[in-house]
Chain A
Amino acid sequence: MSIFKEHRTNADRVASDRRRHKEKIDKAIREGIHHIVADESIIGQNGKQKFRIPVRGIKEHKFVYGDNGKQVGSAPGRDVSRGQKIGGKDRGKPQRPDKPGNESGEEYYDVEMDLGELAEYLFADLGLPDLQRKQLTNISAHKLKRNGYRPQGIIPRLDRKKSAIARIKRMKAAGFDPDKAEEGETFPFHEDDLKYRHYKLKDEPCTNAVVFFVMDVSGSMDQNKKFLARSFCFLLYQFLRSKYENIEVVFVTHDVDAKEVNEQDFFTKGTYGGTAASSGLSMVNEIISERFHPSAWNLYAVHLSDGDNYDSDNGKYLEEHAKLESMVQLFGYVELEPEKSYMEENKLSKVLLPRIRENSRCVTIKSKDDVWPAFRELLNASKGEK
């Protein structure tokens, strides 16, 4: 005879351990997220769409055997022969074919979040309250807002309906009846009947932002550099997106000439030409004057380049930069993986550095690990801190 017991109330014994585990996962997400986001597509994620992010789990280490041991399996009723291949080299591992450099035995969790949550994780500990306040409010549009009616005004603002109503009121009060009126008797508009629409200038904080990504696509920009560029652009794009309701992105590529392209081309197309970096900035200046007036838009511009430029173009570049800098919230010059080269002193960063002011920043990215620090450094620039 056995004992049968009713259920004890141990509703959730694991609750505290789960909470503790979640804290660790959160920490891991925050620490590793710049690696995680490196592969996401920049645009086309709308705010509501959830996407799954693989997060490296909190691994519990043990002494285990590596790969060279033999294992035994069973397969009753099936044909198995010596030398038969029974699966790829990733057999039995968590499958993450999309993650390059995945090492054996990694545990992954799929954490589902939308862009808002992702941005929260990404930018939670950036510690840039100044930046947010300043940049959200210092640009404001003066908009004309309707503000009641006035007895005086200019003719174009005359409100005919209001004026007519005022006249009818006065007519009724005077006991004038147009049907019984004698021939030739009228009840004309009096000056007091006229109502003019009144407008007032109001300051509205501007929540529009446009970010210009300018990239050098000359022969020296290889896939690796483009990958770094992509990660960086994604971070910046998501950051601005989390701060502004309405954000537009303009992609500009240049070799010796600049052109506006779509996202796909921006990251994939390349040319074999030389480089005249000024063309990219001048294109941005042009687009700004045509479509994005600085009083209505928060402007951000990032120039991604490997730093090679025609010497003869440097002067023009600085000129265009100065013009652009005066209009934008933030200008970032990102030099990608600058290898040692004989023209080190001619790199754009060397030319630009002595000339930059408060809202510009030069950063260099040598490898994937530099993306996040470079991003932080860039944002710090706009705080006005060195």
Chain B
Amino acid sequence: MKNLFKLQGAWSIIFLCASFIAEITFLFAQPTILTRTRYRVINMMPNAQSNETSQDSEPNIAVDPENVNNMVGSAFTFNPTGATATAPVYISTNKGATWVLNNIVPSGNGGTGDISLKFAPRGHTLYTGTLRGGSSLTMNILRSANPFGAATMTQLVSRANEDQPYITALTTLVSGSDRDRVYVSNNNLGAASGRTATVDLSANARTAAAPAGFANNVIEARTTNGQDRPSVRCAANANGVIYGLFARTTASSGSNRTCDVTVVRDDNFATGASPFTNLTGAGSLAGVLVATGVNMPFINAPALGQNRLGSHMSIAVDPNNSAIVYIAWTDRTGATGTNLHVRRSTNSGVNWSADLLTIANGLNPALSINSTGTAACLYQQLVTGRWETHFRSTTNGTTWSDVILSNTPDNNPAPTFQPYLGDYCDLMSVGRNFYGVFSASNIPITANFPQGVTYQRNANFTTNQLRNLANNGNVNASIDPFFFAVEQVPFVFDICTLQPWKCRVIEMDPRIIKIKCLTEPCIVVDPIPRNCLVKYNCPGCGGNNVLCPPYYHIFIDEIDPRQWQFDLVHKDGGTVPYQLNKTQSGIVLSFRPDKEKFREKEIGDYYILFRGDKLNGKKEFQFKTRLEVSDYRYKEHLEFGRR
């Protein structure tokens, strides 16, 4: 096996391995693609908002399952111009690496109340539920075919006297065409008889004019003590099984609210005459009472680490097995504090486990189950005057990993309104990866973010001060939304850096890429900074009135795109947004470096990955290459020319 390394012609290679050098031998013996788990935590506040000090709490997130580069986030963030007709969402087109505010949510005061958003699994349409800013408790159900454009979202439903609209979406194939089935769970305070837990749903919401088929369905079957609690949630499996979760109030005394945690189910997309009645419980009524007589205190003032207490609930169904469903809720067993509970059913909600997790002083649970059946729970826990944000996951329901994403003070900043952090956080999965959001104090202290953190807004981690946009003054701490990703990524490293004795130096010829293959598929890494020294003239920005960093177009001639696949990655293996276009004689890979990662005449630590298949035994390849620098993307570059 050692000979393999000696034979290794390229000076650098991508290894896909679970841990470190010890695994390399194993890798070559069994060429399974192995990955490592990567945690990314990113402060979503854009750089242009470096001066802001608002309380951007209660975040939510939508990741487009068909293009995970595209994400939309929300928080209690106001329109930065002071305009009142629209409120912003946060958008990212690079897998959450950077975020931008886009003012597309209809509003009456430049902000929103409760807001939740999700993409349909296919078709790229975003659905949003809001309490419209400046309009008391008016729920809007909104739709956008392109939340990355400038058009304001389309209003599909508007109804007064509502609380906590929360979106769940499916796409199903009906008669050969896709239909978006959208479930907006909410607490309809205007509902008759105090049965307020409600789901507004449409079986075909994608293109129809308002109300796009939306109609509301009461999912509470029992008598209440006036109403259900504010949080009502849904979880949907593509096979048509839809769960609902809510807390029925049975008694009230002071700030105490005695509740039954209730799960309902529908087995056919909730489209029948009596939706959400397939699971029956006490009194042969719809809904199983998972826990009865619990106290969900209702304190609309700082009650736990500056945050108020209401109802905090979440539900998730296994995408591969609709019988497996997890729920979480928060209650109070003593005179103070809270307990967060996570439980599971493996028989479609009929029977439930005891607590799989019990978290003292936990709030804001958010559950999700990924494509491999791994269940994850995001929550925030008050521990000795600090808010810890935990990401925990399990493959069997009993053994849970525990990763702390943030650990921030509960009293800096002081609250300016309620909720301080939020009445909910959010977590979702696409494939094997989890994506989530939470709000926390934004003081730039490295130790507050044990998995690392990236700020877009100006911040000095040495002096632990936020900085203004001009970077000539400090800015007070505030609450910001933080995006995080828990991703399975290839383990990329430079063998020459780690074990130089196992590597012979590549011949670095100007304007030529040489690839020597050991195995098929042939995987090779080509680092751009070193290429800048030899292969290309990397000129950097240069001059005034030009785009900085510019676009880089790397032409590779005489390469067959049917044999070779390409990718552009950061040093840590993370993907970089790029365009790939065919030319008459090969391909051109175009990208624009991050401002933060850009270095004059080196571009930055980017690597081109080559993967060759069906090489017919050929071991050595040589391609001509050149770099063109431009103010334009590739299509416009062809038209308006290079610098």
Q: Do A and B bind each other?
A: no
Mark A residues whose CB is within 8 Å of B.
none
Mark B residues whose CB is within 8 Å of A.
none
